[in-house]
Chain A
Amino acid sequence: MNAVVAPSACPISVLIVDDEAPARARLRDLLADLAAELPNEVVAEAENGVVALGVIEAHRVDVALVDIRMPTMDGVEFARHLSQVAQPPAVIFVTAYDAYAVQAFELSAVDYLLKPVRSTRLLAALRKLPQQPPLSKAQLARLPQPQPARSHLACHERGRLLLIPVDGIIYLKADLKYVTVRTREREFLVDESLTHLEQEFGDQFIRLHRSVLVARNAIVGFARLGTDDAEAQWQAMLRDVAERLPVSRRQWPLVKSLVRRSGV
């Protein structure tokens, strides 16, 4: 947020994020037109949030012009992951008209542009940048959510931002103040709370015991430990990993009924 936008300073570096090629081309044209008034440089174009986060890892970006509705990772989720980036760019949302979205933008006081974008509006938005603080959690929460749940979890490893597709997660396990994310290949540590994750992904994951959420479609069966009925302890067997996860006695009836309904 320390890009100084004086006419003589170094050009603002811009990242364009939109899944439609013509929309990206239009923004590029507009920025080129504005170059005399406001020096700028398009660092890269990205067709979704995942690609855009990759660009931000590799380049210094002052501002990202971000479409809302994109496949793989939408604009709002992209903005949420930015909080994990060391020097996040300012975000200006660009969207086609939608009464609900516009209302949400107004409420959260986030800068946005409507498609088709007019060059005067774009210029005004870029000029405001130095005074713009980064998006707060409260602002992000008020944004329109094309997908209520995130498509990826973000994690930091040796200064790099890694994205874990939620579809590929087998289980989530609370470890002190972190959550371990297990995928087929390996484990990651993410800075999240298991309770929040359960709220967000409640329809994909199910709680096995106090500190474990498992993907419903990863459960392949259950095994019983101990022979005595009263002492029976059940374990969930998982797809792709040999490890078995214990099911607490309190959760067992719920787990059993939910899994049976989905036909395991």
Chain B
Amino acid sequence: MPSIKQNAHGQPLPDFRNAGVMLRILLGVNLLALLAALVRSDGLLACLQDYVAMAAWLQPLLLFNLAVLALLGSRLQGSAVWSARALVVVLAAMSAVLLSLLWSLLTFDEWGWQGLVRAALLAGTAAACMLSYLALRASALSPALIEARLQSLTARIRPHFLFNSLTAVISLIRLDPRRAETALEELAELFRALLRDPRQLVPIGDELALCRQYLDLEKLRLGERLQVEWNIDDPPADLLVPPLLLQPLLENAVYHGIEPAANGGTIRVSLLRRGDELHIDLANPSVSHAEHARGNHMALDNIQERLALYYDLEARIDTGEVRLADGSREYRVQIVLPCGGRSR
């Protein structure tokens, strides 16, 4: 099962299918080229011209390499770290030589064997530079991961919810022992999820089941005040997501949107697949003004950080308040996840 663990500890290779990684490689290598041009030329204009000349040669090479790496994808991840790294460097060097040969055929320039070796060395060095940069970046992120994990253990369990739920369950024991049993089981499930290794991904179907159990518990306390509308279209139940992606957001929605309202309200959750993306939308009535910001942002920051750790630039989360036609305000959160490659 894939997990964020690989990104943190001795991650064999970056995920070359990730848009963020691709972008970093493109920018990084071009930056190196710019630096080389700066060293080689004596004027700024000359440097720019030099860079443009280099870029014309560089871009096809980069794109070709990125395409091959993306195609190799998971096969690279399977092999040993050092051999995979060597493979990437050799690939870069070889493709540089091939491109040089092609270039010399097209332009009838003679590159000579020294020129070919130079191209191979340059390309290989650039590849090695990028690999070490990405490895450094991954290891730099791992303390953040541990911190995120600690946060997920502390910030996530809102004591208010725990103790109110326990009170509700205790009150049920005499009245409706069976319902009390289910409620305790639900509470146990919720805590199992809270205590699980946050780096291990879970199928989104499990996360949704957890959310339903959580809302069931809240319904026990809040009764008719809490209404939930689900709108799940074509559920990609096997899509793997970071654990506790939605539950903390629902907890926020209940705490800020339902509890402060005397007559309660409706939380709407929708999951829609749009092409290669999964759109998750959450909406709750917006009631309190003062308390809102602080509590909400803890959970949101936490989720945002975990999304960035796992998906880099490919996932996003947006929040905002919308004024509805009847004058009431609604707080909305939208999460967009890629669901192309990872569910397989």
Chain A residues close to B by CB (< 8 Å): 19-23, 25-26, 29, 47-48, 69, 71-72, 96-98, 114-117, 146-148
Contact = CB atoms under 8 A, between A and B. Distances in A.
Indicate the size class of the contact surface on chain B. Answer: 20 to 34
A85 to B, nearest CB: 22
B192 to A, nearest CB: 21
Nearest to A94: B167
B164 A115 contact: yes
A148 to B, nearest CB: 6
A116 B290 contact: no
A44 to B, nearest CB: 18
Given A26-B167, A116-B167, A48 B262 contact: yes
A23 B164 contact: yes
B290 A148 contact: yes
A126 to B, nearest CB: 18
Task: Name the prevailing secondary structure of the B interface residues.
Answer: helix
B91 interface: no
Contact of A71 (B160, B170, B262): B262
Contacts of A21: 223
Contacts of A19: 259
B228 interface: no
A107 B167 CA distance: 26
Contact of B167 (A23, A69, A72, A98): A23
Interface string B131-170: 0000000000000000000000000000110111011101
Interface stretch (B71-79, B97-105, B171-179, B194-202): B171-179
A22 B159 contact: no
Given A20-B168, A23-B171, A116 B259 contact: no
Interface of B: 159-160, 162-164, 166-168, 170-172, 174-175, 220-223, 259-262, 288, 290-291
State the 5 A-B residue pairs at the shortest beta-carbon distance, nearest first: A26-B171, A22-B168, A96-B163, A22-B171, A71-B262
B168 to A, nearest CB: 4
A98 B291 CA distance: 15
A115 B170 CA distance: 10
Contacts of A148: 290
A147 B162 CA distance: 22
Nearest to A28: B171
Nearest to B160: A96
27 contacts: A19-B259, A20-B164, A20-B167, A20-B168, A21-B223, A22-B167, A22-B168, A23-B167, A23-B168, A23-B171, A23-B221, A26-B167, A26-B168, A29-B171, A47-B262, A71-B259, A71-B260, A71-B261, A96-B163, A114-B163, A115-B167, A116-B166, A116-B167, A116-B170, A146-B291, A147-B291, A148-B290
A16 to B, nearest CB: 12
Contacts of A29: 171, 174
Contacts of A96: 159-160, 162-164, 167
A114 to B, nearest CB: 7
Contact of B220 (A22, A116, A147): A22
Contacts of B291: 146-147
Contacts of B261: 71
